[in-house]
Structure 1
Amino acid sequence: MHIHPTKYYSFRGVIVSVNTLYSDPYFSVFPNERIHPNTQRGLLNAYHCCGSETTPSAVIFCEANFTKTDGKTANGLIRYSPKFRILSVIDSEKAGLDSGYALDGEYNGIPIYATLTESIEMAREIPEYFIFGIAPSSGVLSTLDRQVILEAIDLGMNIVNGLHEYLNDDPEFIAASRKAGVVILDIRKPRAKRNLQIFSGIVNHVDCPKVVIMGTDCAIGKRTTATKLVSALRQYGLNVVLVATGQTGVIQGAPYSLVMDSIPAQFCPGELEAVIYRAYEVEKPDIIIIEGQGALSHPAFSTSSMIIRGSAPNAVILQHAPCRKYRVDFDEMAMPSVASEIELIELFAHAKVIGISINHEGMEEKEIDECIYHYSKEFAIPVTDALKRSSKFLVHMVLRAFPKLAKQIPILQ
């Protein structure tokens, strides 16, 4: 364990205190680094957590993808965004709709506009941040995407970019941002390799339950279920930590977070382990919930195995979309069965799957009920829909698996 004394940094007149026990995942800043526009995740958290009197405004760009799987960053921020005041979503295919209604059938007052110009005109203000809300499998920008981002920069908006393509490495974006005096946040950009950590096994000293939300595919609702579960457990009265492992969770402002698929494979388990252990040391939680990525059975992504190794979970909750026939972006790759995924997870993780949360895409209410009933009967574990059913069912999954947690609060609220 590397322990350094508390260091202080100044950014925009705000003094930032960073205690770097292990690598500090909260700010992602090390003693020999200073806060500047390229310290991406650290700057985002430091700016919001230290001295900001109001929640900064933002517009989310999600052209032709809002409510779709590749629009998962925008979808997640519309459902939960404590760090930003979202003014609107940009998607010409759904312009005129309420974003909450388009996504979940419930109005939230955040409109969808066709263009950036229209969104600014209707808001009567220029947002402080332009958030790129699309997460394509390619991880790179199209020509249209570049044009819109450059337009936002020219208007004086800071950019939040969650792609694998780092805008701070692009001469055109560097020149534009310097000219406009704005900040570009490449959320996926990892720390310098000299600061990355190898797995040490210290995660095994965490003595509270660690539950990972796994899935049978990518873009299936793991982060949403994790967020809902954490909120429900907190309402129940438990001290809960969420560890986010993707770009959307970082943008949402999860205090303990990292973007796993941007870290070299050799360091993935160790980096996650460090975040979990720091959360445990600082927060003294009753339980830690870890957001999963991809699927353990998915041949195109290996992050799931790194998450299991780095977190050493005590239990897993599985997210599945019963009506999804093929993997997202892989039209000839059939979805795995729930049974096969559970078998693989339990063999690899040496931990039980304690519940199933279904993604109701393409399903009617009656079909959801039938699916919950049949899965519950087949697998003899609790099953729910995190968005369509009461969060009490998610709490029940956890309390059933870890009954000692139930003794702290006598009545489920």
Structure 2
Amino acid sequence: MDLRDHFEAPAPAIVLAEGEFGTAEGKTANGIVTSSEVFETRVVVDSETAGRSASDVLENRDAPDVPIVESVGAALTEAPEVEALVIGVAPAGGNLPEAWVDDIETAIRAGCDVVSGLHVFLSEDEHWTGLADRYGTRLFDVRKPPGSDDLRVGDGSVDDVDADVVLTLGTDCAVGKRTTTYLLYRAAREAGYDAGWVATGQTGIMIGAHEGVVIDRVPADFTAGVVEDMVTAVGEAHELVFVEGQAALTHRAYSGVTLSLLHGCWPDAVVIADDPDRRTRTHFDSFEVSGVDAEVRLVEDLSDADVAAISTWGDSETEGSRHDLPVANVYEEGGTEALLAAVTGTLGGETDRAGSGE
């Protein structure tokens, strides 16, 4: 899914982040507010932080100074010109909270399209499709997987892509793979490279990846093929393709999707994202994190890619002394640029600095 095809970016939007704005569970909403190239956030809805501003809650210099209010009705009063309601939280359990129904209905009646990251699909519910038809709005379920006609097994066709492909993998879940991928893409474009990127999670799709599928909703046999198709599509339009990874090759719960991503995009270079203070896996306290060296070894054993660098949450100098690879923290000054330099060095300087048009 490429939301750029459906909106005239940046489209003014309300971001629904009820109860989670500024928290780890609200990371999709947080990312949309700070980074989306598709949506310009005009108001955030979150009753827990209402009355404050987005920049205050996120403590991020890149966050816009927009208000946080308690309801969509209040948001429409603040910004009647909005075109979309973006649901940036997917509650545990996967269902649509009853308390959100009025807010979504209010947005649709006001003429807003709805972009949903929920596990349930509004576009398959007669109530929501009927309401959207009545008010002339559209429903986008970003977690909805490709239809059966668009599923195939991987066949190695990605080898024919002329673009250089860079995959971000990690030592665990939630170690900054999407953030690293996006910031590398932005830094590459600012440096004059003709770059595009592929998302494999809902946040990336909502902030403007050139192609994206929530990969954990794709049947296992077809994951590599879906990734091949996305990389091929972006590679036909750009000289350099950044791909968001998921989980870790050593993760006993999720390594299947990680390996499918590695084989589906068959990268030229890999960046490993790592939290050096992480000892056990997120949500799996009985599983120990295997660490950078194990991931590097597996990447290079299971593909033809070279690991170019480590994107660390720690101090880059400290972590750099522990590894034989370049290490940078994207939140440190010059960190993303240092990662990009390591990537382009690994690629051998063959990637063209062409125009950065879409």
| TM-score grouping bracket, smaller chain normalisation | 0.7 to 0.9
State the identity as a percent: 31
Q: Which residue of 1 aligns with 2:347?
A: 402
Unaligned runs of 5+ in 2: none
> What is the CA distance between 1:329 and its match in structure 2?
3.9
> What is the CA distance between 1:307 and its match in structure 2?
0.8
Q: Which residue of 1 aligns with 2:44?
A: 89
Q: Which residue of 2 aligns with 1:365?
A: none
Q: How does 1:95-174 map to 2 (within 5 A)?
A: 95-106=50-61, 108-123=64-79, 125=80, 127-136=82-91, 138-174=93-129
Give yes or no for contact 2:164–2:351 (8 Å, CA) kept in 1: no
Residue 339 of structure 1 pairs with residue 339 of structure 2: no
Q: How does 1:199-348 map to 2 (within 5 A)?
A: 199-283=154-238, 285=239, 287-301=240-254, 302-330=256-284, 332-348=286-302
> Residue 175 of structure 1 is aligned with which of 130, 155, 171?
130
List per-residue Cα deviations over 1:111-168 (Å, max 9, x = no partner). Answer: 2223223322233x15221111014564432332344323333443221012331112
List per-residue Cα deviations over 1:173-198 (Å, max 9, x = no partner). Answer: 23332333321111222332023232
Letter in 1 for 2:337: K
* Alpha-carbon distance between aligned partners in 1 of 2:281 and 2:17, rounded to the nearest angstrom: 21
Give yes or no for contact 2:194–2:353 (8 Å, CA) kept in 1: no
Q: Compared with structure 1, are the counterparts of its residues 334 and 110 closer, same or farther at alpha carbon in structure 2 (3 Å cutoff)?
A: farther
Specify the SS of the correspondent of 1:404. coil
> What is the CA distance between 1:310 and its match in structure 2?
0.3
Letter in 2 for 1:317: V
Letter in 2 for 1:118: A
Q: Which residue of 2 aligns with 1:188?
A: 143
Give yes or no for contact 1:154–1:180 (8 Å, CA) kept in 2: yes
Larger Rg: 1
> What is the CA distance between 1:335 and its match in structure 2?
3.9
CA RMSD of aligned residues (A): 2.6
Q: Which residue of 2 aligns with 1:374?
A: 318
Give yes or no for contact 2:14–2:42 (8 Å, CA) kept in 1: yes
Q: Compared with structure 1, are the counterparts of its residues 112 and 346 closer, same or farther at alpha carbon in structure 2 (3 Å cutoff)?
A: farther
> What is the CA distance between 1:61 and its match in structure 2?
0.8
Q: Which residue of 1 aligns with 2:338?
A: 393
> What is the CA distance between 1:60 and its match in structure 2?
0.7
Residue 46 of structure 1 pairs with residue 8 of structure 2: no
Q: Compared with structure 1, are the counterparts of its residues 68 and 251 closer, same or farther at alpha carbon in structure 2 (3 Å cutoff)?
A: same
Letter in 1 for 2:330: A
TM-score normalised to structure 2 length: 0.87
Unaligned runs of 5+ in 1: 1-40, 360-367
Q: Which residue of 2 aligns with 1:24?
A: none
Give yes or no for contact 1:164–1:262 (8 Å, CA) kept in 2: no
Letter in 2 for 1:346: E
Give yes or no for contact 1:126–1:157 (8 Å, CA) kept in 2: no
TM-score normalised to structure 1 length: 0.76
Letter in 2 for 1:389: E
> What is the CA distance between 1:232 and its match in structure 2?
1.3
Specify the SS of the correspondent of 1:164. coil
